Copies of this chain bind each other. A is one copy, B any other.
Amino acid sequence: MKAIKTKLNFSKLVEVQGIAVLLNNLGLKSTKQRFAVLSALHKHKSPMTAEKIVAKTGIDLATAYRTLESFEKAGLVDKFNLKDSSFFYEIRNEHHHHIVCDKCGFIEEIETCNFEKMTPNSKKFSFISEHSLEFFGICKNCVKKIP
């Protein structure tokens, strides 16, 4: 009953072998679009939608989705959803969760995950492989703006 997501430290991998080699090792050709997606996600430091990635990189939207999908399959990127109707993507790192501001959409990463303390006992399930946990609230910036 443990989370089974692979831990891949992107920064460390890049540092050691470079992006081109990293991609090649994953069976992906290194193209400028893929560099752009990785770099956008890396710089932004918080989850992005495909549309936001397009806005930052100028690549085609379909390419963005295809790139993100192949990155996800390769274990380089995680995909998840919040309350919204779009999916968010982020470079996979240590297992973590998020707090999302209901006003401005700002997303903060939370490191702590007391998974053991909240693992449910189920008579109908054989095992649990994964969980998602997101918090919603108001960030300090937005609280200021409330009259």
Contact = CB atoms under 8 A, between A and B. Distances in A.
B125 A99 contact: yes
Contact of A126 (B83, B117, B132, B143): B143
B118 A118 contact: yes
Nearest to A119: B135
Q: How large is the interface on A (under 10, 10 to 19, 20 to 34, 35 or more residues)?
A: 35 or more
A139 B114 contact: no
Nearest to A110: B120
Say whether chain A's binding surface is mostly helix, strand, loop, or mixed: strand
Nearest to A97: B120
A130 B99 CA distance: 10
20 contacts: A80-B83, A97-B120, A99-B122, A99-B128, A110-B120, A118-B118, A118-B133, A120-B135, A124-B139, A125-B139, A126-B137, A126-B139, A126-B142, A128-B136, A129-B136, A131-B135, A131-B136, A132-B132, A132-B134, A132-B136
